[in-house]
């Protein structure tokens, strides 16, 4: 680079755990519930309210720790992080400052067809979420439904050097956690939040520059835009012999810039103390092993199978893998069809079905279509029972109607006419009615075939089997 400045990036991700209840209370987790209706005394720190640890939350944290190749701490110890802020009713947050459940991990990212990079991960710890702040005009409202939801915080080492690497890391982490079932990792809903730390330093220097933290980036696009802007901003400051202020900033989508929120000292005294109401818990080694042994198949394993076994294109596979529900659906359809149908199944899922889902803002499990229904459609298409046009018509019907494919075909008259006798009778009539056209067959066979086949489709409302009909038509015309 002409400015001789090296970019240093580290990322902290807060991930909501996919549990039915909160991390330290029995309060249910209901996304979109009316504000302050899913709250328990423990979440608000009422006197005498005693927390208890959600075992499922610990199990999910172990799955993530193992997948990220981290050293697992079998002694579960929690601390109190003390600070006063409107979204923290208790005045403290239960976390794992001194004994994170996972340390020293790594995650490989793909930067191009030929280039990969291993991202070093410093720690993974369990903690609880804070309330949600909603700003309206000069008023701030607090929704404590989110307070107490279990989180894992995953912190990388400052080893990334560009926005491309940062985006690839968050994308890979999201995919890993999604297929583990640890979280639904929806950035737009806040179940995966991203804080990016950026500093610049001259190449060859060991000492880091002043670190700027950009909080709560809610999409991969915003991660990229915020990093690119911040690199440009800090570069201009340093090239003008000024000092970058260590601070916390946010990304403003309206202006596409980062905006200062508050200055940040090197170390904030949170007065960490051991959580007095949760004694250390020694995790049973056999239970840890059983959790690891039942770890779901990761996307990378599926990617390899889809490529090698079915010969699918990587770009299509990657598109499929962005949705765990769609991937599971795809695998279930394949168990009911032939391996040679894999490409056909994938094309329909990513094409007609995804298009229908997009119009309704749904996922495939919200609809009435099942793997068995799609497998039956493909079976009938392969057997010339229905045409490709019929297939496209039946897809939205199958997604909205619980009726079987056979009933949908009969009710909507979408079955191909494949009986040779019926087709021959229709074609003979059309030949007799179009003698002037038929007379041109020797000189212009394609025009004659197209004309007669077009009329056949018109009188059969597009239901004639084109392959069988054309074979019969050619035989009839040659016999003239």
Q: Which CATH number does the domain housing residue 464 bear?
A: 1.10.10
Last residue within a domain, chosen from 352, 380, 411: 411
Is it the case that residue 441 has pLDDT exceeding 70?
A: yes
Using DSSP bridges, classify how beta strands 212-217 and 247-252 pair: parallel, antiparallel or unpaired: parallel
375 sits in which H/E element = helix 371-382
Work out the pLDDT band at 436, boundaries 50, 70, 90: confident
**For the ranges 133-147, 261-275, 301-315, which has the lowest average pLDDT?**
261-275
Work out the pLDDT band at 478, boundaries 50, 70, 90: confident
For 247-292, give the secondary structure using H, E and C: EEEEEECCCCEEEEEEECCCCCCCCCEECCCCCCEECCHHHHHHHH
Same domain, 266 and 315: no
Model confidence over 57-87: pLDDT tens digits?
Answer: 999 999 999 999 999 999 999 999 998 888 8
Cα 416 to the chain's mean position, in Å?
A: 38
Instruction: Look at residue 264 in the predicted model and tell me its pLDDT.
Output: 66
In this structure, is residue 175 part of a structural domain?
Answer: yes
In this structure, is residue 320 part of a structural domain?
Answer: yes
Same domain, 73 and 114: yes
Model confidence over 325-355: pLDDT tens digits?
Answer: 999 999 999 999 999 999 999 999 999 999 9
Contact 391, 373 (CB under 8 A): no
Nearest CA among 244, 236, 239, 151 for reference residue 193: 151
Taken as a whole, the chain contains a residue count of 480
**For the ranges 39-48, 220-229, 278-287, 424-433, which has the lowest average pLDDT?**
424-433
| Cα maximum dimension of the chain | 98
In this structure, is residue 382 part of a structural domain?
Answer: yes
Is it the case that residue 476 has pLDDT exceeding 90?
A: no
Last residue within a domain, chosen from 287, 311, 332: 287
Same domain, 383 and 469: no
Same domain, 50 and 91: yes
Last residue within a domain, chosen from 268, 287, 306: 287
Instruction: Look at residue 434 in the predicted model and tell me its pLDDT.
Output: 87
Compute the Cα dihedral for 335, 340, 342, 345 and give only its sign: negative
Using DSSP bridges, classify how beta strands 139-143 and 132-136 pair: parallel, antiparallel or unpaired: antiparallel
In this structure, is residue 81 part of a structural domain?
Answer: yes
Number of folded domains in the chain?
3
Is it the case that residue 1 has pLDDT exceeding 60?
A: no
Same domain, 251 and 333: no
Residues 444, 466: Cα–Cα separation, whole Å: 20
Percent of the chain scoring above 90 in pLDDT: 70
Instruction: Look at residue 3 in the predicted model and tell me its pLDDT.
Output: 75
Same domain, 90 and 180: yes
Same domain, 266 and 155: yes
Same domain, 216 and 313: no
Same domain, 174 and 308: no
Compute the Cα dihedral for 206, 210, 216, 219 and give only its sign: negative
Question: 358 lies in which domain range?
Answer: 297-411
Structure tokens at 335: 């168990």
Phi-psi category of 152—alpha, beta or left, where left has phi over 0 and alpha has psi -120 to 50? beta
In this structure, is residue 63 part of a structural domain?
Answer: yes
Which range has highest mean pLDDT (31-45, 124-138, 168-182, 262-276)?
Answer: 168-182
Q: Name the pTM for this structure.
A: 0.84
In this structure, is residue 292 part of a structural domain?
Answer: no
């Amino acid at each position: 680079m002409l400015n001789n400045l090296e970019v240093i990036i580290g990322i902290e991700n807060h991930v909501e755990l996919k549990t039915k209840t909160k991390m330290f209370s029995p309060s249910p987790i209901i996304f979109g519930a009316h504000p302050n209706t899913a709250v328990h005394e423990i979440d608000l720190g009422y006197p005498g309210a005693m927390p208890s640890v959600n075992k499922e939350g610990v199990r999910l944290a172990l799955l993530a720790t193992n997948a990220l190749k981290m050293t697992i701490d079998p002694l579960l110890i929690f601390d109190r992080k003390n600070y006063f802020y409107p979204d923290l009713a208790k005045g403290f947050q239960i976390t794992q400052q001194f004994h994170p459940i996972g340390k020293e991990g790594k995650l490989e990212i793909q930067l191009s067809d030929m280039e990969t990079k291993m991202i070093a991960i410093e720690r993974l710890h369990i903690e609880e979420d804070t309330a949600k702040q909603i700003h309206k005009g000069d008023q701030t409202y607090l929704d404590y439904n989110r307070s107490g939801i279990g989180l894992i915080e995953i912190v990388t080492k400052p080893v990334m050097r560009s926005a491309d690497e940062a985006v690839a890391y968050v994308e890979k982490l999201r995919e890993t956690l999604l297929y583990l079932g640890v979280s639904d990792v929806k950035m737009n809903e806040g179940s995966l939040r991203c804080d990016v730390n950026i500093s610049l330093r001259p190449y060859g220097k060991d000492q880091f520059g002043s670190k700027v933290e950009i909080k709560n980036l809610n999409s991969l696009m915003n991660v990229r835009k915020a990093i690119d802007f911040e690199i440009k901003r800090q570069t201009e400051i340093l090239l003008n012999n000024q000092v970058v202020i260590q601070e916390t900033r946010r990304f403003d989508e309206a202006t596409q810039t980062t905006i200062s929120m508050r200055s940040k000292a090197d170390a904030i005294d949170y007065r960490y103390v051991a959580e007095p109401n949760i004694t250390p818990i020694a995790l049973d080694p056999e239970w840890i092993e059983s959790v690891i042994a039942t770890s779901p198949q990761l996307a990378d394993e599926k990617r390899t199978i889809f490529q090698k076994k079915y010969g699918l294109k990587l770009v299509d596979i990657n598109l499929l893998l962005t949705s765990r529900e769609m991937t599971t659906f795809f695998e279930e359809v394949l168990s009911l069809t032939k391996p040679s149908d894999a490409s056909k199944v994938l094309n329909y899922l990513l094409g007609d079905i995804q298009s229908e889902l997009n119009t309704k803002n749904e996922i495939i499990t919200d609809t009435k279509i099942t793997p068995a229904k799609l497998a039956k459609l493909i079976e009938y298409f392969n057997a010339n029972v229905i045409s490709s046009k019929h297939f496209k018509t039946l897809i939205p019907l199958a997604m909205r109607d619980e009726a079987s494919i056979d009933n949908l075909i009969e009710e909507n008259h979408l079955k191909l006419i494949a009986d040779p006798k019926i087709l021959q009778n229709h074609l003979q009539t059309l030949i007799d009615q179009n003698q002037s056209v038929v007379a041109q067959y020797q000189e212009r066979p394609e025009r004659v075939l197209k004309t007669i086949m077009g009329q056949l489709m018109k009188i059969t409302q597009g239901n004639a089997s084109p392959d069988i009909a054309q074979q019969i038509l050619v035989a009839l015309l040659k016999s003239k």
